[in-house]
């Protein structure tokens, strides 16, 4: 954002590290798909529509999406993003509207542009789609498990 004026539209993938204890749904390293859209007249409805379109394309039309209030340092308001698929809700990541202070810090006028950002856990998407119940199985290097994919 520091190097170009709006509009900005980005989708990126990357590795994330955090101090989580490994359990069936958490791991200290995971991959995240991040999105950012900054332009005139971008609002929370756009964020939900983009995430719904992604969820339906990846998991099918029967998926539902919900936002729960949360906190992330670069968005305000911030939400946790949950998908319901096959009768079960699961958290897939965080999202929100880009904080006006972030826009100001990169030289944008927050009175003229706004935006949203999201980060979705790739492993959780994979687990949900393929019926994997323990995220640790993805990192055990068990060829019998991995060959099924």
The string of pLDDT tens digits covering residues 23-62 is 998 899 999 999 999 999 999 999 999 999 999 998 889 8
How far, in Å, CA of 51 to CA of 83, rounded?
A: 9
Domains in the chain, start-ordered, CATH in brackets? 8-17+30-123 (3.30.930.10)
Left (φ > 0), alpha (ψ -120 to 50) or beta: where does 45 sit? alpha
pLDDT digits (tens, 9 = 90+) for 102-139: 999 999 999 999 999 999 989 988 888 888 999 999 99
The candidate with the shortest Cα–Cα distance to 117, out of 77, 88, 87, 149, is 77
Q: Cβ neighbours of residue 65 under 8 Å, at least 6 residues apart?
A: 48, 51, 52, 55, 81, 82, 83, 84
What's the predicted TM-score (pTM) here? 0.88
The candidate with the shortest Cα–Cα distance to 95, out of 129, 132, 54, 59, is 54
Q: Would you state the pLDDT for residue 146?
A: 87
**Any alpha helices (H) in 60-121, and if so which ranges?**
100-105
Q: Would you state the pLDDT for residue 115?
A: 98
Is residue 6 pLDDT above 90, yes or no? yes
Count other Cβ atoms within 10 Å, centred on residue 22.
13
Q: Report the sign of the C-alpha dihedral through residues 54, 58, 61, 67, in that order.
A: negative
Q: Give the model's confidence band at 94: pLDDT under 50 very low, under 70 low, under 90 confident, else very high.
A: very high
């Amino acid at each position: 954002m520091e190097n170009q004026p709006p509009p900005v539209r980005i989708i990126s993938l990357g590795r994330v590290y955090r101090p989580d204890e490994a359990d069936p749904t958490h791991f200290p390293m995971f991959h995240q798909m991040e999105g950012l859209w900054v332009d005139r007249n971008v609002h929370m409805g756009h964020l939900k529509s983009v995430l719904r379109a992604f969820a339906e394309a990846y998991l099918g039309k029967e998926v539902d999406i919900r936002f729960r209030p949360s906190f992330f340092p670069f968005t305000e308001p911030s939400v946790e993003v949950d998908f319901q698929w096959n009768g079960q809700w699961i958290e897939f990541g965080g999202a929100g509207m880009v904080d006006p202070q972030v826009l100001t810090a990169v030289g944008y006028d927050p009175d003229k542009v706004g935006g949203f950002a999201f980060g979705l856990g790739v492993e959780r998407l994979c687990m949900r789609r393929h019926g994997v119940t323990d995220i640790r199985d993805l990192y055990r290097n068990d060829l019998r498990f991995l060959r099924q994919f």
